[in-house]
C-alpha cells in the first residue's frame, strides 16, 4: 500500500507527465483568386428525331413482299414493300390502248378538217361541213388529252405498288404482313425515324433565358454557346451541338420556353449490312443538357468543398490576419462541380478554410496551413 501511494505522488509531481495546454486547431486554407471557368447551365431535355415518317399504302392491293429487316437503317429511295402489280399493269395497258385509239381518231379528224377547209372556196364546199369538221377535231383532241391524263394516273398507281423510303433513318416493325390487303385506310405500315442529326429540346424558365441572352449578348447571343449532353447513365456524350430554335410563346402552365438544339448522332462501330446500326442517341430518351459558353470567363473562385449551406444560404469560414475564424455569407455565380464562383461576399486574396471545417468555429483562433495533397491531385 505504501508503494502504490509513493508512485501516485511521484507521477503527480513529475513535469513529464503533466498535461500540456491545447494549442489552436490546425486547418487547411486556400486563397480566393481569379479562376478561368466555362459558364454552364444545366437542364433536363428530351431527344427528338429531326424527321419521322409513317408509311401508308397509296392504293388498294395485296401486299406481296416486305423487303427490309425490321430495326435496321434504310436510305431514301429503297423499296420497302412490294404490292401486287398485275392489275395495275393491265390497267396501264388498257389506258395506253385508249390513248392510241384517240390519237388515231384525232389524226382522222384533222385530215377531215383540212379537206373541208380546202373546199370552202369551191362550189362543193359548204360552211357547215367545215364547222362540223372543226368541232369534231377539237372533240377528238379533248378526248385524247383525257385518255393521256388517265394513262398518267394509271402509271402513278402502278408506281405506288412499290412503297419506297422517303428519308434516311431507322425503320420500325411492320404492322401488316405479306398476304393481306392494304389500302390508304389501313393505317401506317411502319415508321421511319431519322437518326443523324438529332434534336434535343429542353424547357428554360423565362427569367433564365433572359439571363442567358443578356450574358452572351456581346458574344453572338445564344448561337455563341455550345450544348453538351449527359446520357441517362450519367456519362458525358462526346458530341456537342448548337441551339437552332426558340419557341415564340411561353408555356402558361410552367412559365417556360422550349429551346431546341441540333446535335450529331454518328454511328458507333462498323455497320454491317442487314443488321441494326448502333447510335448513342435514341429518339424520345431523356438526357441532361449542359449549355456552356464557348470562351471561358475569369471570376473569383474557391473549391466547392469549402462552401457550406444552411437555411440562411451559402457561407464559408474566413481566417483573418489575427488567425481568428469569421463566418462569411457569400453569393455564388455559375459554378461547376468542383469550383465555386463567388459573385459576392469575398474579396481577392482572402483566406478560406478548406480542410478541418469540423474544427472551425466563428471567433476561435486557428493554425492555418497549406491544404494537404489529395489522391489523384486536385
For residues 181 and 285, what is the distance between their CA atoms, to the nearest angstrom? 35
Provide the pLDDT for residue 113. Answer: 80
The CB density around residue 271, as the number of other CB atoms within 10 Å, is 14
Domains of the chain by start residue, with CATH: 26-35+298-370 (2.40.420.20), 41-51+193-296 (2.40.30.170), 85-160 (1.10.287)
For residues 74 and 162, what is the distance between their CA atoms, to the nearest angstrom? 15
Q: From first to last of its 378 residues, what are the pLDDT tens digits of the chain?
A: 454 444 454 445 455 444 545 678 888 888 888 877 766 778 899 999 999 999 999 999 999 999 998 888 999 999 999 999 999 999 999 999 999 998 998 898 888 888 777 777 666 557 777 777 889 889 889 999 999 999 999 999 999 999 999 999 999 999 999 999 999 998 999 999 999 899 999 998 888 888 777 777 766 677 777 888 999 888 889 898 888 888 888 888 888 889 999 999 998 877 777 678 888 999 999 999 888 766 666 778 888 888 888 888 889 999 888 888 889 898 887 666 677 888 888 888 888 888 888 888 888 888 888 886 644 444
Of all residues in the chain, what percent carry a pLDDT higher than 70? 87
State which H helix or E strand residue 64 sits in. strand 61-66
| DSSP 3-state percent helix, strand, coil across the chain (nearest 5) | 30, 35, 35
Q: Flag whether the pTM goes above 0.75.
A: no
State which H helix or E strand residue 79 sits in. strand 79-83
DSSP 244-309: EEE-SS--TTT-EEEEEEEE--PBPS---TTSPPPBS--TT-EEEEEEEESS-EEEEEEEGGG-EE
Provide the pLDDT for residue 208. Answer: 80
State which H helix or E strand residue 329 sits in. strand 325-329
Amino acid at each position: 500500500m505504501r508503494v502504490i501511494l509513493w508512485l501516485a505522488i511521484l507521477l503527480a509531481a513529475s513535469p513529464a507527465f503533466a498535461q500540456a495546454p491545447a494549442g489552436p486547431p490546425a486547418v487547411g486554407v486556400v486563397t480566393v483568386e481569379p479562376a478561368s471557368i466555362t459558364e454552364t447551365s444545366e437542364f433536363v431535355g428530351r431527344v427528338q428525331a429531326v424527321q419521322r415518317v409513317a408509311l401508308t399504302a397509296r392504293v388498294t392491293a395485296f401486299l406481296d413482299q416486305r423487303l427490309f429487316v425490321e430495326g435496321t437503317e434504310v436510305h431514301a429511295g429503297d423499296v420497302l414493300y412490294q404490292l401486287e402489280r398485275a392489275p395495275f399493269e393491265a390497267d396501264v395497258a388498257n389506258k395506253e390502248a385508249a390513248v392510241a385509239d384517240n390519237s388515231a381518231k384525232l389524226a382522222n379528224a384533222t385530215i377531215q378538217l383540212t379537206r373541208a377547209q380546202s373546199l370552202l372556196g369551191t362550189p362543193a364546199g359548204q360552211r357547215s361541213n367545215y364547222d362540223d369538221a372543226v368541232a369534231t377535231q377539237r372533240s377528238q383532241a379533248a378526248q385524247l388529252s383525257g385518255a393521256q391524263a388517265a394513262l398518267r394516273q394509271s402509271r402513278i398507281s402502278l408506281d405506288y405498288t412499290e412503297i419506297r423510303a422517303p428519308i434516311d433513318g431507322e425503320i420500325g416493325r411492320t404492322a401488316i404482313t405479306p398476304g393481306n390487303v392494304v389500302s390508304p385506310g389501313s393505317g401506317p405500315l411502319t415508321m421511319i425515324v431519322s437518326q443523324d442529326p438529332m434534336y434535343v429540346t429542353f424547357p428554360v424558365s423565362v427569367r433564365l433565358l433572359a439571363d442567358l441572352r443578356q450574358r452572351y449578348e456581346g458574344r453572338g447571343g445564344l448561337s455563341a454557346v455550345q450544348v453538351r449532353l449527359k446520357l441517362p447513365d450519367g456519362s458525358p456524350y462526346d458530341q456537342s451541338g448548337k441551339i437552332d430554335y426558340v419557341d415564340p410563346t411561353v408555356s402558361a402552365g410552367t412559365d417556360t420556353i422550349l429551346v431546341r438544339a441540333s446535335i450529331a448522332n454518328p454511328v458507333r462501330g462498323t455497320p454491317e449490312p442487314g443488321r441494326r446500326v448502333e447510335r448513342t442517341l435514341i429518339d424520345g430518351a431523356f438526357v441532361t443538357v449542359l449549355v456552356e459558353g464557348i470562351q471561358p470567363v475569369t471570376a473569383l473562385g474557391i473549391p466547392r468543398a469549402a462552401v457550406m449551406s444552411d437555411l440562411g444560404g451559402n457561407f464559408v469560414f474566413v481566417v483573418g490576419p489575427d488567425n481568428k475564424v469569421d463566418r462569411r455569407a457569400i453569393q455564388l455565380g455559375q459554378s461547376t462541380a468542383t469550383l465555386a464562383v463567388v459573385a459576392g461576399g469575398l474579396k481577392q486574396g482572402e483566406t478560406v478554410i478548406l480542410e478541418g471545417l469540423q474544427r472551425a468555429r466563428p471567433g476561435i483562433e486557428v493554425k492555418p496551413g497549406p491544404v494537404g495533397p489529395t489522391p489523384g491531385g486536385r
